[in-house]
Structure 1
Amino acid sequence: MRKNTSRRLALPALLGAAAIAIGSSAFLSGPAFAAPGEGGEGTLTIHKLEQPDGPLGPNDGSEIEVGTAKPLVAGFTACTIDDIDLTIAADWERLRDIVLTLDGAGEPVATEDGTPLALTCGTEQMTAEADGTTQFTLPADKAYVVYESTVAANAIPAAAPSLITIPFPGNGEPGQPAWNYEPHIYPKNTLAGGGATKDGEIIGDQVSFDIMVPIPPLGAGETYQELRINDQLESFLQYTAGTVTLEDADGNPVTLTAGTDYTLTAPSGSGGDEVVLNFLPSGLAKLDANTGGKLHLRIDATATGSGSTANEAQITINGTSTDPGTGPSVVDPEEFFTGAHIVKEAKNKGASTNVPLAGATFDVYTAAAGATDCPATPDPTAAKVVDGAESAADGNTPNQVLAAGKYCVYETSAPAGYKPLQGGMLLDVTGENASVTVVNTQVGADEGDLPELPITGALGNVMLVAGGAALLLIAGTLVAARRRQQQRQ
Structure 2
Amino acid sequence: MFTQRRLGKLIAGASAMALAGMGLFGVAAASADELSDITPGTPGSISVHKSSADPVEGLNNGSLLTPDPGAGLGLDGVEFTLQQVLFDGAPIDLSVADGWELAEALAPESAGGALPTGYTLAAGVPQVTEGGVATFSGLDLGLYLVTETDSGNNLIDAAAAPFYVSIPYPNADGTWNYDVHVYPKNTLNTIEQTKTVDDSAKVLGQEVTWTLVTDVPDSDLPYKSYTLTDSLSANLDFISWESVSIGTGELVPTDDYTISADNAVITFTGAGLAKLDAAGATTVTTVLKTKVNSIPEGGVIENTATVNINGTEADGTTNTNLGTLQLEKKAEGENGVLLDGAEFELYGTAPDAEGEPTSSPLATGTTVDGVVKWELHLGIEDDMESSYWVKETKAPAGYVLPADPWSGELVVTNGQILIETITNHKPTGPDLPLTGASGTVLFTIAGLGLMAAAGGAVLVKRRRSRTQG
Pairwise TM-score range, normalised by the shorter structure: 0.5 to 0.7
Residue from 291, 296, 313 that aligns with 2:285:
296
SS of the aligned residue for 2:327 comes to: strand
Q: Report deviation, 1:164.
A: 9.7
Distance 1:343 1:237, change over 3 A: same
Residue from 413, 431, 442 that aligns with 2:394:
413
Residue from 307, 326, 329 that aligns with 1:344:
329
Residue type of the partner of 2:371? N
2:223 counterpart residue number: 224
SS of the aligned residue for 2:316 comes to: coil
Identity of aligned residues (%): 18
Q: Report deviation, 1:12.
A: 10
Cα distance in 1 for partners of 2:142, 2:130 equals 16
1:327 counterpart residue number: 315
Cα distance in 1 for partners of 2:425, 2:259 equals 56
SS of the aligned residue for 1:81 comes to: coil
1:214 counterpart residue number: 215
Task: Tell me, yes or no, if the aligned pair for 2:19 and 2:164 is still in contact at 8 Å.
Answer: yes
Matched, 1:189 2:188: yes
Residue from 192, 197, 201 that aligns with 1:200:
197
Residue from 413, 421, 427 that aligns with 1:444:
427
Q: Report deviation, 1:73.
A: 7.6
Q: Report deviation, 1:234.
A: 1.5
2:8 counterpart residue number: none
Distance 1:102 1:280, change over 3 A: closer
Matched, 1:397 2:372: yes
Distance 1:383 1:159, change over 3 A: farther
Residue type of the partner of 1:414? A
Task: Tell me, yes or no, if the aligned pair for 1:312 and 1:327 is still in contact at 8 Å.
Answer: yes
Task: Tell me, yes or no, if the aligned pair for 1:100 and 1:109 is still in contact at 8 Å.
Answer: no
Task: Tell me, yes or no, if the aligned pair for 2:241 and 2:288 is still in contact at 8 Å.
Answer: yes
Residue from 304, 314, 335 that aligns with 1:353:
335
Distance 1:424 1:262, change over 3 A: farther
Q: How does 1:18-29 map to 2 (within 5 A)?
A: none
SS of the aligned residue for 1:328 comes to: strand
Distance 1:397 1:115, change over 3 A: farther
Q: CA RMSD of the aligned region, Å?
A: 5.0
TM-score, scaled relative to structure 1: 0.51
TM-score, scaled relative to structure 2: 0.53
Cα distance in 1 for partners of 2:288, 2:294 equals 18
Distance 1:424 1:283, change over 3 A: farther
Cα distance in 2 for partners of 1:383, 1:197 equals 33
2:255 counterpart residue number: 260
Distance 1:265 1:401, change over 3 A: farther
1:81 counterpart residue number: 62
1:109 counterpart residue number: 135
Q: Report deviation, 1:334.
A: 4.1
Residue type of the partner of 2:366? E
Distance 1:398 1:423, change over 3 A: closer
What CA deviation, in whole Å up to 9, does each residue of 1:99-120 have, x standing for no partner?
9965322224366956799xxx
Residue type of the partner of 1:238? D
1:28 counterpart residue number: none
Task: Tell me, yes or no, if the aligned pair for 2:246 and 2:282 is still in contact at 8 Å.
Answer: yes
What CA deviation, in whole Å up to 9, does each residue of 1:47-85 have, x standing for no partner?
xxxxxxxxxxxxxxxxxxxxxxxxx983567864249xx
Residue type of the partner of 1:213? T
2:38 counterpart residue number: none
Residue type of the partner of 1:321? T
Q: Report deviation, 1:197.
A: 0.8
Matched, 1:237 2:223: no
Q: Any unmatched runs of 5+ in structure 1?
A: 1-10, 23-33, 39-71, 118-144, 166-184, 267-272, 368-372, 462-489
Task: Tell me, yes or no, if the aligned pair for 2:212 and 2:316 is still in contact at 8 Å.
Answer: yes
Cα distance in 2 for partners of 1:454, 1:262 equals 81
Cα distance in 2 for partners of 1:356, 1:455 equals 33
Q: Report deviation, 1:439.
A: 1.7
1:63 counterpart residue number: none
Q: Select the structure of larger CA radius of gyration.
A: 2
Distance 1:427 1:218, change over 3 A: same
Cα distance in 1 for partners of 2:320, 2:250 equals 33
Task: Tell me, yes or no, if the aligned pair for 1:231 and 1:312 is still in contact at 8 Å.
Answer: yes
Distance 1:379 1:422, change over 3 A: same
Cα distance in 2 for partners of 1:427, 1:265 equals 44
Matched, 1:287 2:276: yes
Q: Report deviation, 1:424.
A: 4.3
Distance 1:90 1:162, change over 3 A: same
Q: Which has the higher helix share?
A: 2
Task: Tell me, yes or no, if the aligned pair for 1:210 and 1:298 is still in contact at 8 Å.
Answer: yes
Matched, 1:312 2:298: no
Cα distance in 2 for partners of 1:163, 1:16 equals 5
Q: How does 1:34-183 map to 2 (within 5 A)?
A: 36=28, 74=53, 80-82=61-63, 90=100, 93=103, 102-109=128-135, 113=139, 155-156=155-156, 160=160
Residue type of the partner of 1:359? G
Distance 1:440 1:13, change over 3 A: farther
Task: Tell me, yes or no, if the aligned pair for 2:230 and 2:304 is still in contact at 8 Å.
Answer: yes
Distance 1:413 1:233, change over 3 A: same
Task: Tell me, yes or no, if the aligned pair for 2:235 and 2:301 is still in contact at 8 Å.
Answer: no
Distance 1:453 1:13, change over 3 A: farther
Distance 1:262 1:92, change over 3 A: same
Cα distance in 2 for partners of 1:211, 1:76 equals 33
Q: Report deviation, 1:241.
A: 2.1
Q: Report deviation, 1:437.
A: 1.8
SS of the aligned residue for 1:257 comes to: coil
Task: Tell me, yes or no, if the aligned pair for 2:27 and 2:61 is still in contact at 8 Å.
Answer: no
> Number of residue pairs matched?
316
